[in-house]
Chains A and B, each alone.
Chain A
Amino acid sequence: MSKVIYFDNNATTKVAPEVFEVMKPFLTDLYGNPSSMHTFGGQVEKYIRNSRESIAKLLGCDSSEIIFTSCGTESDNAAVKGVLETFPERKKIITTKVEHPAVLTLCKEMKSRGYILVELKVNKEGQLNLDELKAELDDNTAIVSIMYANNETGVIFPIDKIAEIVKAKGVIFHTDAVQAVGKIPLNLEKNNIDLLSLSGHKLHAPKGVGVLYIRKGTRISPFIVGGHQEKSRRAGTENVASIVGLGKAAELAGENIEIENTKVKKLRDKLENAILKSCPDAMLNGDKVNRLPNTANISFEFIEGESILLLLDQFGICASSGSACTSGSLEPSHVIRAMGVPFTAAHGSIRFSLSKYNTEEEVDFVIEKMPVIVNRLRELSPFVKSK
């Protein structure tokens, strides 16, 4: 493929060149095991420590509260299962209908093992009704797990408020912040989040590294047992290169958070407004205001998402869709459906997610191609009358 226009940054991101640079030594000369007694291995430990501190700085927490994992999904599993194990007498889990499968599938699995699962509903803007959360919270609730920002629509939940409500009931609160970290500022010092998951490859670090933040004093069982790494909470020799890379990525994210909310947001808004203007019967999915600055989820009526993606792909444009056909399942996106978007529009939903590496030329190119693609498919659609 000659030219790639990458508008799928909620799926994964490019590894920042600066990140790749700092990783190199640990894939070549500095291959020692940080747990070793000798200087050669032991010297690696301080780089892990530095990374931990960079991440703590980005999140506004103490470095001792950072546990490295292999990915966001592992962090989510560790958080939910770890808490359930600590509170065997509590049998209720509260989450939302729009969670990432890393949380939702896990919670459904727990339900099949006898837990009571409450999936909070969202309105047509993709927002929760916090009264429903208040009504569901009780002494039987072991954990509440609610995502910070939605991966498909970019809708941001009022997490600080939610954490406060949950805390007031003495229940543990976990948030999957995989899409939020690096895109919007967050400060763990000022809120009541107990557990938070993040994933390296969503913020320009490599795949295969994640973090679970565990607030000091939170009761949680170890999730991988073995050696003493990560304070025996997550055993296994550290993925040193990726951990160091994630530290650098966190540092960059802190510096660039302004860019995300100015330059990237401006590009996203331009793309979104132009497409909604040039393509009839297109609509934005999700809360327009409380939304990640990089994400636009647009439904095109009467046409199907996979077809749109394949035609975009012909131009080297990468995006994703909530259509049933792209996943191989027969149901369209659970997120779009939960918002009550009609079926025809749900099958034709396309997500564009940008990053600081995108340019205005790229945005203009997509703006030019999108109406062509939409018209072409509408001509084939039985829902559209032939001219």
Chain B
Amino acid sequence: MWDYNKKVMEYFLHPVNAGEIENPDGVGEEGSPACGDMLKLTFKLGKDGRIADIKFKTFGCASAIASSSIMTEMVKGLTLEEASKITNKDIVDKLGGLPEQKMHCSVMGMEALQAAIANYRGGKAGKITEGKIVCTCFGVTDKEIEKVIIENDLNAVEQVTNFCKAGGGCGQCRGEIQMIIDKIRGKKEKGAEPQAKPKKLTNLQKIQLIQRTISEQIRPLLKADGGDIDLIDVEGSKVIIAFRGMCSQCPTAEFTLKDVVEARLHEFVSDDIIVEEQNR
């Protein structure tokens, strides 16, 4: 049972601005029947250039309906410039919070609004796709993922899925989402003190640290995609590993080797580590 607050339930049970405006100035649609939620926004501008009327139609759960409804209330009377600054976080705050797994409902509200504004400005309906598609199951682009990460201060793939659905289908893009997170967090954390890396390690300590990094930092990432990894040997700064499970047949294993395994070992063990895959 979802723990919806009173305000969410109120907007679900008695939604305001439900419906569709005839001959609207802007139309925006977001979501799809496959995803289980879809929102259609229509608005009309007043003579003063402010949103005079706005209505929504939503196929979706209680939080999708409540998010859509409260958003229409929030933007009524605003200029398009002002309205386009509304983020999903503003919608969630206004609702007094949503369950974590339902955050994507507020994102859908924000995106439909932006689509409707773009439709008014550019005269073309529907979703504006910017960037490249990362999650093919739900059609989410890297730009959209970056936006939710930055605006909501996210730091885990699971959170990204809760906010914009990316990674919630087949799960193949989870590695890529992790890299987007890493990229953004890397930017944010630059300038901060880098995590203290041990200075001088004995061989035994080094192997133990590599083993620990693999089991704590790397294995969980690969497991999310049905893969696994084993440490085979360490020769000086050369680390030899073997991919298991899905990873062993993965065409992008080479990529995982450098960008995940080696990057993590550089971060937590030593910069001079070179990772090689055991001969298959």
Contact = CB atoms under 8 A, between A and B. Distances in A.
Given A325-B60, A330-B169, A347 B36 contact: yes
A365 interface: no
Nearest to A381: B59
B213 interface: no
A382 B138 contact: no
B57 A382 contact: yes
B225 to A, nearest CB: 11
A330 B168 contact: yes
* Residue of A302, A307, A323, A380 with highest tally of chain B CB at under 10 A: A380
B36 A307 contact: no
B34 interface: yes
A331 B169 contact: yes
Interface residues of A, number: 29
Nearest to B137: A330
A88 interface: no
Interface string B141-180: 0000000000000000000010001001100000000000
A332 interface: yes
B15 A112 contact: no
Given A330-B169, A386-B19, A386-B20, A343 B33 contact: yes
B62 A343 contact: no
A380 B18 contact: yes
B127 to A, nearest CB: 14
A260 interface: no
Interface in A350-387: 379-383, 386
Interface size class of B (residues with CB under 8 A): 35 or more
B60 A307 contact: yes
Nearest to B167: A330
B278 to A, nearest CB: 18
Nearest to A343: B34
B57 A381 contact: yes
A217 interface: no
B40 A382 contact: yes
B138 A330 contact: yes
Interface of A: 112, 302-307, 310-311, 314, 323-326, 328-332, 342-344, 347, 379-383, 386
18 contacts: A303-B59, A306-B62, A307-B12, A314-B13, A323-B61, A324-B36, A325-B102, A328-B101, A330-B138, A330-B168, A343-B36, A347-B36, A380-B15, A380-B18, A382-B38, A382-B40, A382-B58, A386-B19
Q: Which 10 A-B pairs have the closest CB atoms?
A: A330-B168, A325-B61, A306-B61, A382-B40, A382-B57, A328-B101, A344-B33, A347-B36, A343-B34, A324-B36
Interface of B: 2, 9, 12-13, 15, 18-20, 29, 33-40, 57-62, 64-65, 99, 101-102, 138, 161, 165, 168-169, 226, 245
